[in-house]
């Protein structure tokens, strides 16, 4: 049986995005390399963590992570990642507006779930079988799954920057004890894995 995990990169003050998110700036009015430079500027020293991010049988993400379209689906948006997204598994997108599934190259199909996180989780669990489920983000989605006690392993990738405002990890998550499973520092990021103390 697989686990449910989440990988999320945050600033030293806990923000996963800045203010002013939009199509031209998906992480807001910040230098995106502050958060994700470790993936692109130092991939070799972070290879294990990068590979683990997409090692799942199904993925769940929020609509904001899927794209900038708000309200009704009034344009043909197919995600930020081009024709071959990195997931290569069924991806369940949380939304309030129905949308037909979108099949992409490489085995990724985006399914749109309007019934909330528990319905998305049930569908992802069925799709993943014995493999893991990834709660990809963004921070609001991760926080909902943490608050519902549906994440077995939280992998925080903490970068040495201060953003000051935006969407923060743990907002709305009830107080709880967590166990530190591992910590590994590289040149641009510190990887910290936590598990709920159930």
Q: What b/e string do you get for 42-80 counting C-beta neighbours within 10 Å, with b at 16 or more?
A: eeeebeebbebbbebbbbbbbbbbbbebeeebeeeeebe
Confidence (pLDDT) at 61: 97
Confidence (pLDDT) at 124: 98
User: What is the model's pTM?
Assistant: 0.95
Running along the chain, 198 residues long, what does each successive block of 10 average in pLDDT? 94 95 89 94 96 95 92 90 95 97 96 98 97 96 97 98 96 95 97 93
Query: What is the extent of the structural domain holding 182?
Result: 4-8+21-68+82-187
Residue 177: C-alpha distances to residues 52, 113, 130, 195 (Å): 24, 31, 27, 9
Confidence (pLDDT) at 1: 74
The answer to whether residue 155 sits within a structural domain is yes
Confidence (pLDDT) at 22: 87
Q: What is the CATH number of the domain that holds 166?
A: 3.40.430.10
The answer to whether residue 15 sits within a structural domain is no
The answer to whether residue 75 sits within a structural domain is no
The answer to whether residue 35 sits within a structural domain is yes
The answer to whether residue 196 sits within a structural domain is no
- Are 89 and 59 in contact by the 8 Å Cβ rule? The answer is yes
What are the residues facing 185 on neighbouring strands?
190
The answer to whether residue 14 sits within a structural domain is no
The answer to whether residue 97 sits within a structural domain is yes
Tokens 């995600």 — which residue? 79
- State the total domains in the chain: 1
């Amino acid at each position: 049986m697989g686990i449910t995990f989440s990988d999320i990169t945050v600033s030293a003050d806990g923000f996963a995005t800045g203010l002013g998110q939009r199509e031209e700036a998906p992480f807001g009015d910040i230098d995106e390399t502050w958060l994700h430079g470790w993936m692109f500027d130092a991939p070799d020293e972070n290879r294990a963590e990068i590979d683990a991010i997409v090692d799942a049988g199904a993925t769940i993400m929020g609509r904001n992570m899927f794209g900038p379209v708000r309200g009704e689906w009034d344009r043909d948006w197919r995600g930020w990642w081009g024709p071959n997204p990195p997931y290569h598994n069924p991806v369940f997108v949380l939304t309030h507006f129905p949308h037909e599934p979108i099949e992409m190259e490489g085995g990724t199909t985006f399914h749109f779930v309007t019934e909330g996180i528990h319905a998305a989780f049930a569908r992802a669990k069925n799709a993943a079988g014995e493999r893991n489920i990834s709660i990809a983000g963004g921070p609001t989605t991760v926080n909902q799954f943490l608050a519902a006690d549906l994440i077995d392993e939280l992998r925080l990738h903490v970068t040495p920057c201060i953003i000051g405002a935006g969407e923060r990890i743990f907002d709305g998550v009830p107080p709880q004890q967590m166990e530190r499973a591992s910590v590994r520092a590289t040149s641009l990021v510190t990887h910290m894995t936590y598990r709920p103390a159930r």
